[in-house]
A and B are shown apart, each in its own frame.
Chain A
Amino acid sequence: MVKITFITKDNKSTTLEADSGSVMALAVDNNILGIGGDCGGVCSCATCHVHVQEDQADKIGKASEIEEDMLELDDNTNEFSRLSCQIEISEELDGAVFYVAQE
């Protein structure tokens, strides 16, 4: 089990435990505001946009090319942007903090 924290646009922090699946699925399953996951995680909707905490960018990893292209859809995109359906939960992710990009 790893601990993952979401901080939503209203500044609410929610820490959840999980051991597998995508970060998007974890958020949707726990009704985290601002994560739609409308396409079911196939990198087609960009409704699962999060900002990775700056000092964790290396451990979370970079967006793929498709992901980067899709992120261009959001005005709120910066170098720490990821689509959370493309981040798989693993031991590495323990303590990760994600800032939800949309309201």
Chain B
Amino acid sequence: MTTDNLTCIIVGASHAGVNAAFTLRNQGWQGKIILIDKDQHLPYHKPPLSKKALTAENQEIAALLKPEASYQQANIELILGAEVSNLNRESCTLDVTENGSLKTLQYDKLVLATGARPFIPPIPGLAGNRAVFAMRTLDDVKAIRACIDNKDVKRAVIIGGGYIGLETASSLLGLGLSVTLIEREERLLARVTAPVMSDFFKTLHQQKGVEVLTGLEVVSVNSEQDNQLVLCDDGTSIETDMIIVGVGIKVNAELAEQAGLKIDNGISVDEYNQSSDNNIYAIGDCANFKHSMFTQKVRLESVQNAVDQAKIVAKNLCGETIVNTAVPWFWSDQYDYKLQMVGLATGFDEIVLRRESAKQNTSLECLSAWYFKDGALLSVDAVNNSKAYALGTKAIQTGTKINRAVLADENEPLNHKTLFLA
């Protein structure tokens, strides 16, 4: 296939979009590559935002996905601070607004890597409140730090006990704030992990000094000058200086939806990440895709997923025919604790929990939860236990059966020989 005269436009220059652009070039795409994002900043790593970037001395130095010069070297036209406002599938064009002026760009192939934005729940007092922040972009982090540094903020309330909320709690505590975290569900990380893990993280955050309130719903926020009063459904009220909302995301699917593409929990795509229009693909957080390992379509929010889908699409656009077989994985760093997860636990019927003694040189607990269905390993959540994570990954990748007696016996060392059944 010759791609000399073809233009590929990628909307969204984050983990998915940037990797798609560079993989296209590396795989021999000869035509134009245009990469557009409304964010003004050179594309940067998102995971550090709630972790190191928040506590760093200087928020100006983001961890770039690629240095500035590499876009030019790879002949990728990077357009930043420009929003794509309309997609016309008949004419294969995009309307792009840059510095207030509108222009139209023509594509042959279009990759939507538009990701997601924070969902701000319709709680009275949140919208338009300058003490309320989201945690998704570098500008969010800069705004949070500016508020803390300039206003001498001492107290923060975090709404939402998912990864982003918990990581933010850990970082804000590191900055010396007193932190209250409010979660509507009865436990933390309710959507993504088992109760044992939820309990573990609750205890961890409480021990570090976070006030963790679960099963509590925020009903309104009242501001009086610089003071915020957060009211909950049981009558509790909490005074604070700032509020960070981390209750989940909303997929940026409007562009695709307006253009009449199939939408179903995000932009619906097949195993090649191709949408209901043959010239349009969707990757990353915005894509609900057919993964070869799972019967149901899945929409995943992780760096691994964004990068792997980007590579799949780029390779397919360059003439290969490959589908996604990568086992999903994810990590989260809180305090000096490292959580690593692999696989998807959906539909599990058994959990084996394993506590091991602390590793050499540290006193950190070492924990892993292994999720099974009909005896087959579905996923592993490992805390400070990269070995469990790596072994679990191998077993899931290869469909190897696990010796559960060994797994459940904390005195048995874990390795390929002890754990894997032939």
Which stretch of A12-20, A36-44, A54-62, A90-98 is in the interface?
A: A36-44
Considering the complex, give the chain A residue whose CB is closest to the CB of B361.
Answer: A65
Q: Is the CB of A38 within 8 A of B303?
A: yes
Interface flag for A1 (CB, 8 Å) = no
Residues of A within 8 A of B70 (CB): 29-31
Are A42 and B303 in contact (CB-based, < 8 A)? no
Contact A66 B386 (CB under 8 A): yes
Across the interface, A72 reaches (CB within 8 A) one of B45, B47, B394, namely: B394
Which residue from chain B places its CB closest to the CB of A46 in the assembled complex? B390
Main secondary structure of the interface of B (DSSP, over half): helix
Interface residues on B, range: 20 to 34
State whether B360 touches A65 (Cβ < 8 A): yes
Chain A residues with a Cβ closer than 8 Å to the other chain, count: 20
Q: For chain B residues 165-209, which have a beta carbon within 8 Å of chain A? A: none
- A22 to B402 CA separation, bound complex (whole angstroms): 37
User: Of A31, A33, A39, which contacts B47 at CB under 8 A?
Assistant: A39
Interface residue from B66, B73, B331 paired with A44 (Cβ < 8 Å): B331
B405 at the interface (CB under 8 A from A): no
Q: Are A72 and B390 in contact (CB under 8 A)?
A: yes
B393 within 8 A of A: yes
Q: Are B391 and A38 in contact (CB under 8 A)?
A: no
Docked CA distance A43–B333 (Å): 11
Residues of A within 8 A of B22 (CB): 31
Measured CB to CB, the closest approach of chain A to B263, in angstroms, equals 28
Question: Are B391 and A72 closer than 8 Å at their CB atoms?
Answer: yes
13 inter-chain pairs at a CB distance below 8 angstroms, sorted by A residue, are: A29-B66, A29-B67, A30-B70, A31-B73, A39-B47, A39-B331, A44-B340, A65-B359, A69-B389, A69-B390, A70-B386, A70-B390, A71-B390
